[in-house]
Amino acid sequence: MRCDKCRNEAVLFQSYSGRHLCGRHLVLDIEARAKRTIRSHRWMRHGDHIAVVVTGDRKSAALLCFLEKLTAGRHDIRLSAMPVGTGTDDLATTMRIAESLGVPCIEIPRPDRKGDPESDSVTKLAMAFTLDDIAREVLVQFVSGDAERLVHPPPSAGSIGGTVICPFIAVPLVEVDSYWDYEGTGIDLLPCIPERDPLFFDVEAFFRDYNRRHPATGHALLNLAEELSSCRAADIAAAAIDRDGSFPRGILTVVTGNGT
């Protein structure tokens, strides 16, 4: 098939938009949506120090890559990587991703290590939640009888004094993975960390099947989440971390102080 924008060879079909896109136009489309999300939530301001949580998977690397491109020409915004891993190899991978993009690393602030000037200056904590993550989280909250968390999610600010931001919440995971393929530095990375909660597997199977037949399902659930939570979808996404989701258990508590 041919790209609907330039007639070059298409690499992906967006079932929810009905468009075939080549690699270049897929990247431009992803970046446009991520920028629009940032603008609509007012997630980037003069003087910000943005720390990107990098876990060694493709989507967190893609987020760091995108934000590095976005802030490269700005002297009023600082970007850092916050490597997170469960072992020495994981941390080495995350640090290699940051180094390949020329982004300095800072450590996760911990309760026993206060007053670090690098971590203390962080104003925004960027996490690589995608449209799939938001959609699944909304479904999980309803299925588990905890829909109140959608209406009153825990605030996404914590011990680092920053706000959780999620520029990719309107972008499906498969497209975020492709973004790293086309814009990344060539480091071969694994998909996101698998979920170990049994409820997740049931919700995941349902979501994939229903979304395959109704491609706009993810966007509908995102809109529902933002309506219920007064446009605080990042808070809803952040609340999922404590349940062994897209990041290792305890990252929400360690990084933002919002453990539940």
Whether 178 shows a pLDDT value over 90: the answer reads: yes
Q: Which pair of structure tokens corresponds to residue 172?
A: 């499906």
Determine which of 14-23, 176-185, 231-240 has the lowest per-residue pLDDT on average. Answer: 231-240
Query: Under CATH, domain 43-256 is a member of which superfamily?
Result: HUPs (3.40.50.620)
Residues of the chain with pLDDT > 70, as a percent, come to: 72
How far, in Å, CA of 81 to CA of 186, rounded?
18
Closest C-alpha among 205, 51, 215 to residue 128: 51
Give me the pLDDT at residue 12, please.
Answer: 96
Q: How large is the average pLDDT for residues 114-121?
A: 65
Q: Is 171 left (phi over 0), alpha (psi -120 to 50) or beta?
A: beta
Confidence of residue 186 (pLDDT cuts 50, 70, 90): confident
3-state class percentages of the chain: helix first, strand second, coil last, to nearest 5: 45, 10, 40
pTM, full prediction: 0.81
Domain ranges of the chain: 43-256
pLDDT exceeds cutoff 90 at 181: yes
- pLDDT score, position 116: 62
User: 74 or 149, which is more confident?
Assistant: 74
Higher pLDDT, 23 or 191: 23
> To which residue do tokens 């990587």 refer?
81
Q: What is the pLDDT of residues 16-30, one digit of tens each?
A: 999 999 999 999 999
Q: Which residue has the tokens 């919700």?
A: 203
